[in-house]
A and B are shown apart, each in its own frame.
Chain A
């Protein structure tokens, strides 16, 4: 009798505890595993919730014109964030994307307006300039083995100075430019919505880069290099070639972004877009791509850029000062990185 009494309660209690423990594993653990496996899932949820909340706060928010405006506002940062995603996937960071992009846009605009060169050639030389900024970063990272942070901190200043020297600080108006350069700012109607060509270009770029990252060997190698450089090298991946190609790809993307920037602002200004260096990192981080490399996707980045756009637009519709938008974005970054850390601890 006594034996039974002593023996039975602990065993039943033990069973309960074990069950409870397993339960906790299956609910919270499952969520974490799902987020771990699909890094774009958490930004997608954040975007959905924020759209619903802002929609309830202000009925103007969900109108098609406003949603179309958000996509246009997001197009430049959304595009340049593709370049940033590529670099961050390799465990690097590019502080110079915005500066390189502005330099390329000034080359496009001034060649066409000041030098009277045809729009096609001006655009082409501008695109090459953007590519060159990526090539310089890639060369310094792979040949001199400098940390990407240092390299791009340096080139950020170099590109800013070059832009100001080249342009004498003067803004070029869009109305003076050939039509080709401002083409990305044109809008066309789909039903009752007006879509800008710039947004279409951005979406096409996302499709192309997502395909390359997800479906080609090069994409695998980008992830492998960011994940563990030495393991990638021992597995026979030419690490430096992959890194160089990543910076060249980033240069190409920011070159196209320079064209979008001219269309979007209908001008080329040497003082514009410096915020884009950090805004692009913000979009990438909020989109769930890990700053430690090897994890993330461009779709997450698009969601990250949209989240920032929705917050800024929604808060301004709610009549709040710009400062509160900045505050909200800051908090978003910290929350996103915390979630990333938490997800990385997930083990199946």
Chain B
């Protein structure tokens, strides 16, 4: 914590949108998180990097309600919260794109965008007969994809399983961006993508920041991280080894901290 303050003094004066304190998570005898703290400030891109098994995914799952930490505190805009399910985090405006994409292959693009929070028709059709507003959802889905500049997806009635990896990723990111009111979390969003599609996703991340939406980005790809991140949280052996900025450290430094060859 002192490290964060010493490196980026200008942001610590603001209240973090998301604050985690001393998160601990164990799986049987394996310690996934060993007292990790993290702050996310408005309008920043915070990258989380670390070697395999360093606790990146566990950290993200605890922040987004996919896992319940054994101990530790979470605050959203200063208010203490505890997430038991992904819905709890979503209710607080935290949207996540998981590494395994979390899209339903057989459902179409529009259904996936609205999965779990479908729109109903106005009037008695919606309230009594619970009828879905398929037309409205398709239209909003198209609008959202256009707004995000995702032009390769024209037909929102195509089942997601018929899309390429990049297009599926775009659907998942669009869903998070459309509904995330406070935080968007992206877990390895470029891992399965080609160069051009990766750049599109990185541009999407910048656009989200532009809109004032803070982003947590988990990635293995150092150039991507150093390209878009404002601050970088480095996980090592279940702990936060350091929080650095692309200005204060080089990629080589970051890798050295990640592997334990150096300290910040």
Contacts and interface: CB of A to CB of B under 8 A. Distances in A.
B115 A224 contact: yes
A236 to B, nearest CB: 4
Contact of A224 (B85, B90, B107, B130): B107
A70 B118 CA distance: 40
B241 to A, nearest CB: 28
B128 to A, nearest CB: 11
Given A215-B131, A215-B132, A234 B102 contact: yes
A227 B112 CA distance: 12
B104 A294 contact: yes
Given A236-B86, A236-B87, A218 B130 contact: yes
Given A224-B104, A227-B107, A235 B115 contact: yes
B118 to A, nearest CB: 4
Decide if the interface of chain A is mainly helix, strand, loop or mixed. Answer: helix
Interface in B157-172: 158-159, 161-162
B193 to A, nearest CB: 19
A295 B96 CA distance: 26
Contacts of B105: 227-228, 294
Contacts of B107: 220, 223-224, 227
Contacts of A221: 116
B130 A216 contact: yes
Interface string A211-232: 1000111101101100110111
Listed residue (A211, A232, A235) with the most chain B CB atoms within 10 angstroms of its CB: A235
A239 to B, nearest CB: 10
Interface residues of A, number: 25
B92 interface: no
B117 interface: yes
A348 interface: yes
A217 B102 contact: no
B116 A227 contact: no
Interface in B165-212: none
A220 B86 contact: no
B155 to A, nearest CB: 10
Contact of A220 (B90, B111, B159, B161): B111
A230 B66 CA distance: 10
A217 B130 CA distance: 8
Contacts of B120: 217
Nearest to B155: A348
B103 interface: yes
A233 interface: yes
A13 interface: no
Contacts of A223: 104, 106-107
A348 B162 contact: yes
Contacts of A347: 161-162
Contact of A237 (B116, B130, B162): B116
A238 B100 CA distance: 19
Contact of B106 (A211, A233, A294): A294
Contacts of B100: 230-231
Nearest to A348: B162
Contacts of A227: 104-107
A341 to B, nearest CB: 15
B164 to A, nearest CB: 10
A289 to B, nearest CB: 12
Interface in B59-99: 66, 85-87, 90, 96, 98
Contacts of B66: 234
A211 to B, nearest CB: 8
B131 A228 contact: no
Given A217-B120, A224-B107, A348-B162, A235 B130 contact: no
B17 interface: no
B101 interface: yes
Nearest to A225: B104
Interface string A194-224: 0000000000000000010001111011011
Given A223-B104, A234-B66, 15 more contacts: A216-B130, A216-B131, A220-B115, A221-B116, A224-B104, A227-B106, A227-B107, A230-B100, A231-B104, A235-B115, A237-B116, A238-B85, A294-B105, A295-B106, A347-B161
25 contacts: A211-B129, A215-B129, A215-B130, A215-B134, A216-B130, A216-B131, A217-B118, A217-B120, A217-B130, A220-B111, A223-B104, A223-B107, A224-B115, A230-B102, A231-B100, A231-B101, A231-B104, A234-B102, A235-B112, A235-B115, A236-B85, A237-B116, A238-B85, A294-B104, A347-B161
